[in-house]
Structure 1
Amino acid sequence: MDNTIILKKINFSFRKIIPWIIPIVIILFWQLIVSVGWVSATILPSPWDVLKDGAELTVSGELPKNMGISLYRATVGFVIGGSIGFVLGFINGLSKIARLAFDSTVQMLRNIPHLALIPLVILLMGIGEPAKIFLVAIGCMFPIYINTYHGIISVDQKIIEMGHAYGLKQSAMIRKIVFPAALPTILMGFRYALGVMWTTLIVAETISSSSGIGYMATNAEQFMDMKTIILCILIYALLGKLSDYIAKNFEIIFLEWRG
């Protein structure tokens, strides 16, 4: 019995390691080709040089400050846009009247690339925090809206009929049947919106900004500082990985009943 538990723990640990194997191999290969001189360190700094640059920027306080600002913009924009998208999707999914009134307009707006709004947003809102948060909110709103809406209208009618047969009231029907059935699709939209969040923020911060990770990358570009540019790219990649990890854990927690 003890051996079975040990084997299960080993298998669990191995499953945790597998997703990191390819990134580690890439980093080791990257370090190798720079160290042996196959690629010039001026063009592509080694991972060790990038790491040292990150440590220096951390000690100076520049990296924590700009990372905190980027996280603030991303979080606030996601909460605002995600909340609006969820509420609109939920209402339009439940109500045919609301669907007729709002869905066509929302779908029309959804097909406008939100990054194409950057010139208009700058003219109307300037280059301050509201403009960046607004762009992130717009980017996050539509994935959550469309997945929430689709999840609700796709609920199996047989399950709803069963709820009626048991005499469930509308509020109980929504709470016990409709929302749980739509939740997998809603969480899929949540996960997709997290990716859009970082993509939008990167563009917003590199076009017009005086702070944030994107600003650090743009500023480093002017001085041909490849170490900081690559560092910023890696930070965005790690933040995206962290966001995806959080989304996966939400799915595990909230969809545990499916097991």
Structure 2
Amino acid sequence: MSISHAPPEPSETDISGKSPDSGSPHTPTLEPLLPASTRRARVPRWLRRTSGPLLLLALWQLLSSTGVLTTEVLAPPGRIGQVGWDLVRDGSLPAAMGTSLQRVAAGLLLGTVVGTGLALLSGLFRVGEDLVDASVQMLRTVPFVGLIPLFIIWFGIGEAPKIAIITLGVTFPLYLNVYAGIRNVDTQLIEAGESLGLSRWGLVRHVVLPGALPGALTGLRYSLGIAWLALVFAEQVNADSGIGFLMVQAREFLRTDVIVVCLIVYAFLGLLADFVVRSLERLLLQWRPTFTGR
């Protein structure tokens, strides 16, 4: 009687032919690949965001030091900083900023009320769209700067025409974005709300308005930018205070350094306003996850 022997089972080996428990010191170890977003996170984000302005400032200083930019064309950064500090110390710049902020706040408030109200009327009701949308679309193509002489005739040379210019510039971006936000709400959400028994006002409150909120905040960001642009034009027409008034005085005396200081103040105020709106977006749109980049 013969006894058959089963062949031994092959032992597990790695791709190099060695046993995994052989303990060879020459076994290569692979480090995990990190995604690009993780590698970039090692550099602080605030440093990356400030690197662009700092490089621009260094280039400005270099061109001024080498004589490419003369003082008559553009003052060097050191001179700009000294002039800005002098304006702050004598109180003229803080007073001008306060006046300009009041004008922007008043125009922004009125423009927000008018633009949002017209958008709600036109977006929620077909009759409102027929009555409002065509007129608004025609008026928004008229340059609001060209209406300055007409506003002066209507409202005089006081604060009213300046606020009216800002209000007109703010109204149309808000109207367009709020209207588009309302009309772009997914119809499936409307049908789901109706199936749950929501009334018309319930649909508007719980479905339409939250769906239009991202568009409204985008319109607010656009409106803030246009508000500062309108303020520049408004304050250079029959103004006796404000940042634009400082720029007009500096132009009369060929003070490019003062003009640059005022422009920098405009830029920082606009950046601050945009930061406020971004913070408002993060607060109000927590329910809406979005792509944040990689």
Q: TM-score, normalised by structure 1?
A: 0.92
From 181, 205, 214, the equivalent of 1:175 is: 205
**What code does the residue aligned with 1:145 have?**
Y
Question: Could you say which structure has the higher helix fraction?
Answer: 1
Match of 1:129 in 2: 159
**1:55 and 2:85 matched:** yes
What do you get for the CA RMSD once the two structures are aligned? 1.7
**1:22 and 2:57 matched:** no
Q: Partner of 1:257: helix, strand, or coil?
A: coil
Q: Partner of 2:75: helix, strand, or coil?
A: coil
**What code does the residue aligned with 1:249 have?**
S
Match of 2:76 in 1: 46
Distance across 2 between alignment mates of 1:202 and 1:177: 39
Q: Deviations over 1:161-189 (max 9, x none)?
A: 01000001122211211111111111111
Unaligned runs of 5+ in 1: 1-7
Q: Partner of 1:256: helix, strand, or coil?
A: coil
**What code does the residue aligned with 1:40 have?**
T
Task: Tell which has more relative contact order, 1 or 2 (C-alpha 8 A, sep 6+).
Answer: 1
From 64, 87, 90, the equivalent of 2:117 is: 87
Distance across 1 between alignment mates of 2:74 and 2:262: 14
Q: Deviations over 1:193-219 (max 9, x none)?
A: 111000100011123311111111111
**1:204 and 2:230 matched:** no
Q: Partner of 2:157: helix, strand, or coil?
A: coil
Distance across 1 between alignment mates of 2:110 and 2:202: 27
Distance across 2 between alignment mates of 1:40 and 1:99: 56
Larger radius of gyration: 2
Q: Deviations over 1:50-88 (max 9, x none)?
A: 111111111111101111100110111001111110111
Q: Partner of 2:70: helix, strand, or coil?
A: coil
Q: TM-score, normalised by structure 2?
A: 0.82
Q: Relative to structure 2, which stretch is displaced further, 102-111 or 77-86?
A: 102-111
Shift of 1:12: 8.8
From 175, 181, 189, the equivalent of 1:145 is: 175
Q: Relative to structure 2, which stretch is displaced further, 236-245 or 187-196?
A: 236-245
Match of 1:76 in 2: 106
**1:238 and 2:268 matched:** yes
Q: Partner of 2:119: helix, strand, or coil?
A: helix
Distance across 1 between alignment mates of 2:176 and 2:72: 45
Distance across 2 between alignment mates of 1:187 and 1:134: 22
Q: Count how many residue pairs are aligned between Structure 1 and Structure 2.
A: 252
Shift of 1:111: 1.6
